[in-house]
Structure 1
Amino acid sequence: MWQLLEPLHAVTYFAPEALAASDAVGMRGFWMGYFASRAAPLGPVGPGVVTAAFHGFPPARVARALPDAWTFATPGDVLRARLDGAGAALRNVLTDKVIGSDDMRAAADLAWEAARLADTAGRVLGAANQALPAPDEPHLLLWQAATTLREHRGDGHVAALVAHGVSPVQAHLLKVAAGETDLEQLRLGRHWDDEEWEAGAAALRERGWVDDSGVLTAEGARERGRIERLTDEAAATPWRALGDERTSELALLLHPLTTAVLESGVIPPSNAIGLPRSLAAGEDGRGLTLPAVPSRIG
């Protein structure tokens, strides 16, 4: 479900319409818009809160954007801009016909129900997004549901990392070691300095999780797999509450929408999120297998 929903959410990071909407309310460049838009559901919080909640960024990078962003726009302004930008991006990719379809309404309603059913205890970003009002238009409702569910999952992932003593830098290096994203692209995007990056690598080598070339060892693969399984388990509550049949129905409804987003090229094939290149496994095996579908759905 993450592979189906994340690309719909992620247009907010990559689509030019989203950047234009952020700039229009006064954000100064991509990173100020990024930190402000993800943090806006929490209110006008400062860099310490955002550094802790996001987990993956050095404090100095966050402090370059916050709290200055709130002198240019209120959190409410930023929330409206991020919804407008994501909506414009989805409308451009999916076309008006798809946006206005019965399938879009059905997907939005099911995804929103799943988002409302998510257990947010201990999940700050998930809870803050869940508390936002439901947008009227189906594609905006779907985007907000996808955003709530991905932040809910992210909160659980951070908890699993912290419980395993994995620092933000070490988490990035594990992602690289698993072949999910490019090393230099991740370093550029997250902007940890060389000393911090090497310290994280040295700590993983000392734990026996990566070898001298930065590749996962057998122990590292086991430990990382355990973190990913715990993340999946922590993210399962909305899908258990929605039920297998309706979750499978939502998967079918989302598949053509997500395929359209991935095939549009709006999300680069190599990205820090680790999104698949398509929903069909390619040569590198990255892709999606749909769950078993009840026969009545066809």
Structure 2
Amino acid sequence: MDDSIARDLWTVLEPLHAVTYFEAECLEANKEAGLKGFWMGYFGSRAAPMGAVPAGMVEATFFGFHPSRVRRAVPDAWRFASPERILGIRGAAAARALRRIVPGIERTAAEAAPVLHRAVEEAAAAGRPLFGANRDLDVPDDPVEALWQAATALREHRGDGHVAVLTSEGLDGLTSNVLAAAVGAVTPDQMLISRGWSREQWDEAADALVARGLVGGGTATEAGRALKARIEERTDALAAPPYHAVGDPKALYDLLVPAAEAVADAGEMPYPNPIGLPRAGRA
């Protein structure tokens, strides 16, 4: 199987997962659970499968955020809402959002969720803490919630692998953000706002990449673009094995494209976005 199918599937699975960050149903559910503000909701809901972990665990696994942004939310989040409480509401809220946004999601979920869960079951969890925690959650009875959970587990599988590739290339959370902006995948302002770094810290990280010959004049050099391409290719290769359990990955991609497009068209998820996600079919 061509590793590029893993990237194609990411472009359709990530939007289904990402409703949990952008859509009103999910933001309101975090608030009703007791989490205070957007960032406590984000860190608490995404980290909940790992249990009441300390801030250091979230900093390590989420990777790209300034440590102070994490520590303003964790471990305080667990005083307001237990991981068990959060897990009881996050998938159901995402399913409500998908039902509102995506025409025909019931049929899509009934067909796609069992296939995706086979991929989840086949995937190795070694070295992938966020994936391993999500993989071990019970599969919901509701097919739309099951679709969201499978999309979530597989995107965390990819993300854990991506972090491993970045660290192997000598990049930390900040320098990886700077490199992504330098190749045009995201904008510096998006990353400064969403990840919590200061302009001074950003500039220092950019200087470090200049010293490595990866950035010049605010944009990636040929070497920087080659490194970013290598990172993405290796990420695709590490993300591909679960899809060996899928009989026809291209058919699965085609099935999910309309749902991913409906999420994009809803307008809550920006393009470009801090995730670096292109619209489906434009990876």
- The normalised TM-score by structure 1 is 0.89
- Cα distance, 1:106 vs. partner? 0.9
Q: Does 1:4 align with 2:51?
A: no
SS in 1 for 2:89: helix
The answer as to whether partners of 2:44 and 2:77 remain within 8 angstroms in 1 is yes
Corresponding residue to 1:59 among 67, 76, 80: 67
Q: Give unmatched runs, 5+ long, in structure 1.
A: 281-286, 289-298
The whole-number CA distance in structure 1 between the counterparts of 2:259 and 2:233 is 27
Could you list the per-position Cα deviations for residues 94-125 of structure 1 after superposition, in whole angstroms to 9, with x for gaps in the alignment?
A: 24xx2332x43111111111122111111010
The answer as to whether partners of 1:21 and 1:85 remain within 8 angstroms in 2 is yes
- Cα distance, 1:225 vs. partner? 1.1
Corresponding residue to 1:215 among 213, 219, 224: 219
Corresponding residue to 2:138 among 127, 133, 138: 133
- The normalised TM-score by structure 2 is 0.94
The whole-number CA distance in structure 2 between the counterparts of 1:143 and 1:204 is 37
- Provide the aligned C-alpha RMSD in A: 1.3
- Percent of aligned pairs with the same residue? 46
SS in 1 for 2:75: coil
Aligned residues: 275
Aligned to 1:279: 280
Aligned to 1:225: 229
Larger relative contact order (Cα-Cα within 8 Å, sequence gap ≥ 6): 2
Structure 1 residues 182 and 74: alpha-carbon distance in aligned structure 2, compared to 1, 3 A threshold: same
Aligned to 1:284: none
The whole-number CA distance in structure 2 between the counterparts of 1:215 and 1:238 is 35
Alignment of 1:108-127 (within 5 A): 108-127=113-132
Aligned to 2:78: 70
Q: Does 1:107 align with 2:112?
A: yes
Corresponding residue to 1:198 among 199, 203, 208: 203
Aligned to 1:23: 31
Q: Give unmatched runs, 5+ long, in structure 2.
A: 1-8
The whole-number CA distance in structure 1 between the counterparts of 2:99 and 2:166 is 36
Aligned to 1:283: none
The answer as to whether partners of 2:192 and 2:199 remain within 8 angstroms in 1 is no
- Cα distance, 1:191 vs. partner? 0.9
Structure 1 runs (4+) deviating above 6 angstroms are none
Q: Does 1:260 align with 2:262?
A: yes
Could you list the per-position Cα deviations for residues 175-221 of structure 1 after superposition, in whole angstroms to 9, with x for gaps in the alignment?
A: 1111111211210111112332122111100000010x211111111
- Cα distance, 1:241 vs. partner? 3.0
